Amino acid sequence: MGRRAGSRVRALSIALIAACALAGSRTPRAQPAQTPPAPQAAAQPAAQHPADAHHGKAVSYTCLGCHGIEGYKNAYPMYSVPELRGQNPDYLVIALHGYRDGDRSHITMHSQTESLSEQDMTDVAAYLAGKPLASSGKPAGAVPQSAQLCVSCHGQDGIAVAPIYPSLAGQHEDYLVRALNEYKHGGRKNPVMKGFVANLKDGEIAEIAAYFSRQSPSLGTEPRPYTRLTAE
């Protein structure tokens, strides 16, 4: 009887040890903290080397056929091509990706960008932007109600608060109207901007464009210094 009891105790002890070991193997290990996904703008492949504005000048001779002529207008529909001098180079790279990848609907810009490498885009952006605008801290006029959300990213004086956002100060008024309507109607696929402009009326879009177009210091046009035939 004593032997049987002792055997049962040993068997029970072994069973308990096995059960504890099994339970321990099922206990989930602590997982490392998950890194939040990077924003879309930062998810683009990076250029391999720092920006080379000199190389950007050589690559961008076709860009200057539109962006290097003061007052040049896009045809069908007609609106002023955007001024790029003083813009944030980081934003220009994002915009070039948008045109190349189809997030922005513009057949000419798509054709211009589809052959550009990441380094080309970085270099072109550096050349066309030049020295980014610096905020004066003195907006021209009171911010209209329709633009209250806009200034949180684009600044009260139209100078963007971060390099990934476009500065709007002094930009062509008709171009800003066109851009806002493209966000509203799907010509530009940006869910954040689409949400902001979805309920804007035509008059409010015109008011926003007018406000930012009169801010300073303002964007400008990089003069076209040469043609392909005269480039050094």
Q: Is residue 16 part of a domain?
A: no
What angle (nearest 5°) sits at the alpha carbon of residue 56, between those of residues 105 and 104?
10
Q: Which of 57, 15, 90, 73 is nearest to 82 (CA)?
A: 73
Q: Is residue 222 part of a domain?
A: no
Burial 168-194 (b: 16+ CB within 10 A, else e): bbbbbbbbbbbbbbbbbeeebebeebe
Q: Is residue 25 part of a domain?
A: no
Q: Is residue 117 part of a domain?
A: yes
d(CA 139, CA 135): 9
Contacts of 3 (CB under 8 A, 6+ apart): none
Q: Is residue 144 part of a domain?
A: yes
State the burial class of residue 143 (Cβ atoms within 10 Å of its Cβ: 0-12, 13-18, 19+). Answer: middle
66-119 confidence digits (pLDDT tens): 999 999 999 888 999 999 999 999 999 999 999 999 999 999 999 999 999 999
- What CATH number is associated with residue 153? 1.10.760.10
123-168 confidence digits (pLDDT tens): 999 999 999 999 999 999 999 999 999 999 999 999 999 999 999 9
Rounded to two decimals, the pTM is 0.78
Q: Is residue 24 part of a domain?
A: no
pLDDT the model gives residue 48: 78
Helix (H, G, I), strand (E, B) or coil at 35: coil
Its domain, for residue 107, covers 51-213
d(CA 40, CA 42): 5
Domains of the chain: total: 1
Q: Is residue 4 part of a domain?
A: no
Q: Is residue 31 part of a domain?
A: no
Mean pLDDT, the chain, whole residue set: 84
Residue indicated by tokens 């690559």: 59
